[in-house]
Amino acid sequence: MLGIILSIILFSTVGYIQKYYNEFNILNAKARSGNYETIICEVSNNEINKLRNNVYIDNLGLYKNIYNTYIEVEDIRKYTNIYALDSIALENSFSPNLELVLGRFPKNDEEIIIDNVDKYTLNVDIGDKLTLNNKAYTIVGVYNPQNSSNTYGIDIITYLDQSDNLETSNAAFTVKSTKNKDKIIREVIENLNINENRLFLNRLLFYYYGTDFIDTDYIGNENGNITFILYGIILILTTFLTYGSINVSVKERIKQFSILRCIGATPRKLRILLIKESIFLAIFSLIPGIILGQGLCFLISKLIIEKVTNINNYGVTFKIYLNVIIVTIILTLINIFIATIVPAIRIGKISPVDGVVNGGIVANNVKKRKSKLIRRVFGYDGELAYKNIRADNRNFIITTITSIIILTTFIVFTGYNSNVLYSYEIEDENSKDISLDIGIKYKRDYDDIFNEVDKYKNQIEDLGIVQDIFPRVYYVVSGIFEDVKLNKYIKENKSQYNFGEKSIKINNKDSVYSDTINLIIMNDASLNEILPNVESGKELTLNDFKDNGVLIANRTVMKNIINVSKEPLFQLNEGDKFTLLLKAKEPIEEEKELEEYIENIKNNSKEVTLEYLGSIDGNKAFGGNRYGFSNNTTLIVSKDFYENNKDIFIKKNNEDKYFIEAIDINFDLDIKKDINKEEAIGIIENYSNKIEANWLDNIKSNSQYREDSIILSSLIYLTLFLIMIIGGVNIINNRYISIKLRNKEIGTLLALGISKKRLKKILILEGVVQWFISTAASIILSYIGLEVLYRIFAYTSEIDIPKMHILAILFGSVMLFVINILGAYLPIRKLEYTNTTELIRNDE
């Protein structure tokens, strides 16, 4: 009964966590993308009236992009959008994205609000006048947009006066019903004869609603599938555990059932009796299980989520989810029903005489259960123990599967979580306070890229908030490494088209073609910052880079089942010089054969000689996964390389086929210690908006990631703890009853002269052998499970080096060992004071 109660607690806990975070994610989605569900564009007044009168529609807000213009900000023309919103759109539909920090919302079409960045950009304040398109507006408020880190223009909002009788406007609304929202929306647009091209969805919100299809596109929601899979895994796990409990209970009472058969009970009546017992077991387990489960959910909500993580939960607090309780009841009944079927069928097939005499245990083929490996590892007594546990093969299989489920689940989730945390620590350790990316690919007003670097560097210094500045210039090229061999562990490009690295022959010499090479040029300050992380046989200095010295980011490789590490990309020794045929990467307009790309590089590339200085972990080169993607070839060179090969970085004319154009200038910035971080972020945000750059607050980003990691870890370990307890109780109970049912066998062995010491050793070895078999299988299955997880998350950059966590394996194995030993020790500790005659009679 305890195992079933624990399984109910597990169902309740997982269901509560899923519902809690689904509610949290919905509110988070509204805060990020708006409180609307659907937008219909270019809606006429007649259609608006029909929408207002539709009983299914709620919170209908209207807005319109009145016009666009330009505002001169110093020497830059900023593209400006002027939107008009009615009161519902301002205060409801888009309110999460229009968080007022100063003033109020506009009440007429002569009032406007601007965001807090534009307030500094335009150098205006509340009450000031702003003339746009020959019309004077009064600034009455300042709002804080949720996502302003990539702002390139200015958004100004005024009031939409519906009395203006605009021909068309855009309608944003929600649906009153909490179910079938997609069907209702489809009916609405069909009734209005509106083309679906005019329909825009709050896709993030529908993602968390769990809707797959709403228009012609796929939302891509996985929530329902993940929940279904998770419940399925838990159901399988708890079914095995519950089956073990019921099976042990039945085996313990086989003699009683057999006596009932002898006095006239039919197999059908025995099965009905067992099913009734299971029903009562479910009833008596559900009530305390649900109460304890909800109590645990309350503690999770109040202690782990609210106190430990201290995250913004958008007001989501503990509540009892009725549908979680219903699902828990249904799954528990299914669980007990499935777990009861096999014992119920089996109980009717046992011979009454056999059941009374020996409890229904028939030791068939015991002598054939041999294992050379077990005998080699544990000796003769170990092989005898193996034969004993295989005598009851059904019990052996159930106990083994239960053990494998426990240990595999523990290793997989602990290992995955540990790798995620390790990757976070590496990222946090090597990231600077702020990252600033300035896109210059389409800017034609510069000659020397490092003149641009110096210009922006001086501007950043003039802000007065930055302690250290680390710039780099980022290029994307294709190339051929001549007379270079690819590391034998690197997986080559198998496609006939252009992706990854490929070993080729150039003039009968081993060479490597790479479709995408991230070329990163750093100045002295940036190089000095990463030199301590370089994997090299000597201590490198800036002078080593002067003659086209290069660092190559290493690659995560899997040498064998347990050896996963980061290895150099090429088979090069430090100091080796090699030739690189360098060419700007072409935009993919059509797929070409790989040979065409290679031939194109041969005929249209610039030949550069490089000296290999060593390799470096990309994550330790200022967030290498951001600038030098882990699946691409990444080269790091100094400004000297740029000066030595300046002819390929400066365009001579429009026909220059060797010219390579920079993609971005990246700056990593450390804020001064005595500067208020929030004020500094505001200044960077304003500066980024002014120069039309992207910026990232690494402090905030890492803090959020840390919060997510803490809560993820807490919930993972809580779930694993419950699984370990459920499985442990079942295994101990199963082993205890299994040994207890062998009292006659044990008594006979004692009567024949075997010592209690040796008998204890054999019984303990049974648990050890069971543990050995389960652990070996679990490690193999854990490796497969982790591989599946790593492949699923291969492009999320969550995991740096995917590997099995040794501590997780050791701790989980030790816990399983203790459980198996306890299962054997608890019954055999009675041997010291048990009468041999009573054991033979099986009356103990």
Residue 355 pLDDT grade (very low, low, confident, very high; cuts 50, 70, 90): low
Residues 193 and 68 in one domain: yes
Q: Residue 180: what pLDDT? A: 80
Q: What percent of the chain has pLDDT over 90?
A: 11
* Residues 813, 765 share a domain: yes
**Same domain for 180 and 151?**
yes
Number of domains in the chain: 4
Q: Is 140 exposed, middle or buried (0-12, 13-18, 19+ CB in 10 A)?
A: buried
- Across 643-666, average pLDDT: 77
Backbone angles phi, psi at 104, to 5 degrees: -145, 175
Within-domain flag for 214: no
Does 593 fall in a domain?
A: yes
How many whole angstroms separate alpha carbon 456 and alpha carbon 669?
A: 12
User: Do residues 240 and 289 both lie within one domain?
Assistant: yes
Report for 248-252, 602-606, 827-831: range of highest mean pLDDT:
602-606
Q: What is the pLDDT of residue 159?
A: 92
* pLDDT of amino acid 822: 83
Phi-psi label, residue 615: left if phi above 0, alpha if psi -120 to 50, beta otherwise: beta
The answer, yes or no, to whether residue 564 has pLDDT greater than 80, is no
Pick from 305, 323, 357: which residue ends a domain? 357
Is residue 333 very low, low, confident or very high in pLDDT (cuts 50, 70, 90)? confident
Question: Residue 564: which residues within 8 A CB-CB, separation 6 or more?
Answer: 556, 557, 558, 801, 802, 803
702 vs 420: CA distance, rounded Å: 13
pLDDT at 469: 92
Please write the tens of the pLDDT for every residue from 139-176: 999 887 765 544 567 888 999 887 666 778 899 999 88
Nearest to 331 by CA among 254, 230, 451: 230
Average pLDDT score over residue span 405-433:
76
Least confident of 105-109, 387-391, 585-589: 585-589
Q: Report residue 470 CA to chain centroid gap.
A: 30
Do residues 402 and 350 share a domain?
A: no
Bigger pLDDT: 386 vs 810? 810
Q: Based on the fold, state whether residues 347 and 391 are members of the same structural domain.
A: no
Q: How confident is the model at residue 218 (pLDDT cuts 50, 70, 90)?
A: very low
Determine, yes or no, domain membership for 667.
no
Which residues fall within 8 angstroms of residue 242, CB to CB, at 6 or more apart? 3, 4, 7, 335, 336, 339
Q: Which of 70, 33, 54, 51 is nearest to 169 (CA)?
A: 51
> Phi, psi (5° rounding) for residue 166?
-65, 145
769 and 642 in one domain?
no
pLDDT value, residue 366: 47
Question: Both 711 and 826 in a single domain?
Answer: yes
What are the helix (H) ranges across 553-697? Answer: 594-604, 624-627, 639-644, 677-691
Least confident range from 34-48, 201-215, 247-261, 290-304: namely 201-215
Could you read off the pLDDT of 478-526 as tens digits, one per residue? Answer: 899 998 998 888 877 665 555 678 888 888 888 998 888 899 999 999 9
pLDDT at 756: 75
Average pLDDT over residues 372-397: 78
Tens digit of each residue's pLDDT (9 = 90 or more) over 779-808 = 888 877 777 766 655 444 445 555 667 888
Residue 312 lies in a domain: yes
Q: Is residue 819 part of a domain?
A: yes
* Pairing state between β 577-584 and 606-616: antiparallel
610 residue type, one letter: L
Q: What is the mean pLDDT of the chain?
A: 78
Q: Is residue 465 part of a domain?
A: no
Closest CA to 584 of 632, 515, 653, 522: 515
Domain housing 134: 35-201
Q: Which residue in 236, 407, 244, 412 sits closest to 331, CA to CA?
A: 236
318 in any annotated domain: yes
Question: Looking at the structure, do residues 17 and 40 belong to the same domain, yes or no?
Answer: no
Assess if residue 569 is contained within a domain: yes
The reply to whether 500 and 611 lie within a common domain is yes
Average pLDDT over residues 543-549: 93
Do 130 and 77 lie in one domain? The reply is yes
Judge if pTM exceeds 0.75. Answer: no
Sequence-distant (≥ 6) Cβ neighbours of residue 193 within 8 angstroms: none
pLDDT-based confidence at residue 636 (cuts at 50, 70, 90): very high
Q: Are residues 188 and 55 in the same domain?
A: yes
Kindly state the average pLDDT of the residues 742-767.
Answer: 78
DSSP 716: H
Nearest to 551 by CA among 618, 430, 637: 637
- For the ranges 178-187, 634-643, 742-751, 766-775, the lowest mean pLDDT is seen at 742-751
**pLDDT at position 216:** 44
Q: Which helix (H) or strand (E) holds 514?
A: strand 509-522
